[in-house]
Structures are given as C-alpha cells and as structure tokens.
Structure 1
Amino acid sequence: MIEREWERRLDPLTVRVATAVRITGLSRSRIYELIQSGDLETVKVGRATLIHFRSLKTLVRENN
C-alpha cells in the first residue's frame, strides 16, 4: 500500500489499550481505571476495546 505524506501526519481515530499503555507510560490497570471513571472515551468493536485518541490527548493536556 502506498502511504501519502498527509496520511502520515494524521492522528489515529482510536488506539487499543496496549497502545495507550505504550504511548502514555501508564499501567494497563490505570488505563482501565480511567475508562471506568469516564476520563477516557472508548468504543467496543467485537471484543476489542478501542480508546478514542482525542480523549488520550485531552487527558495528557489537562494533566500538564
């Protein structure tokens, strides 16, 4: 697949929990706590829990 330059600059719409752990440095259990508290917005697709990337960015921005 050919990737265009503008596609590389786009943020993903959602990320998996494992990716959220890796990019935030938070533990898996802390990510699930933030999901339960409503601080992270998610969507379920089948068995997968996907976290809206914009909610991760908001969380980091608010805690800086």
Structure 2
Amino acid sequence: MANPIALTVQDAVKASGLSRSRIYEAMRDSLPARKAGRRTLILASDLEAYLANLPTYQAGA
C-alpha cells in the first residue's frame, strides 16, 4: 500500500523527519495515537495535521 492510513511510531519518524522522542512528546501533548494490541498507531491524517500546525520558520527571528 503506497499511502497507509495509520503509521507506527517508527514509520511516523521516517515520514515526518522528527525524532522518536519528539513524536512521543507530541503524542503526550497534542498528537492523537491509538492502540491496536501492543502497537501504537498514528493516523496519517493526524500526523499531517500536527505538522501543518507547527510554527512557520521566521528568518532572523
């Protein structure tokens, strides 16, 4: 499947470019995650929304 609807934490790290620690931090603060047995899954749409809501880069700020 080219575009999965849910990602493991490891896949979310690869897809986003964020560190594993930052993903877990985001899950604690505002990134929803779901459990399927022992697996933690993040919906791709939730990850995209989280990334879209990060502050924009301001040169010289």
Indicate the RMSD between aligned Cα atoms, in angstroms.
Answer: 1.6
Tell which has more relative contact order, 1 or 2 (C-alpha 8 A, sep 6+). 2
Match of 1:50 among 29, 41, 48: 41
Figure out how many residues of one structure are paired with residues of the other and give that number: 55
**Unmatched segments (≥5 aa) in structure 2:** 57-61
Length-normalised TM-score, structure 1: 0.74
Confirm whether residue 26 of structure 1 aligns to residue 18 of structure 2.
yes
Give the 3-state SS of the residue equivalent to 2:42 in structure 1.
Answer: strand
Confirm whether residue 16 of structure 1 aligns to residue 32 of structure 2.
no
Residues 15 and 52 of structure 1 are in contact (CA less than 8 Å); yes or no, is this contact kept in structure 2?
yes
**Unmatched segments (≥5 aa) in structure 1:** 1-6
Q: Percent identity?
A: 38
Q: Deviating runs (4+, > 3 A) in structure 1?
A: none
How far off is 1:12 after superposition? 2.3
Length-normalised TM-score, structure 2: 0.77
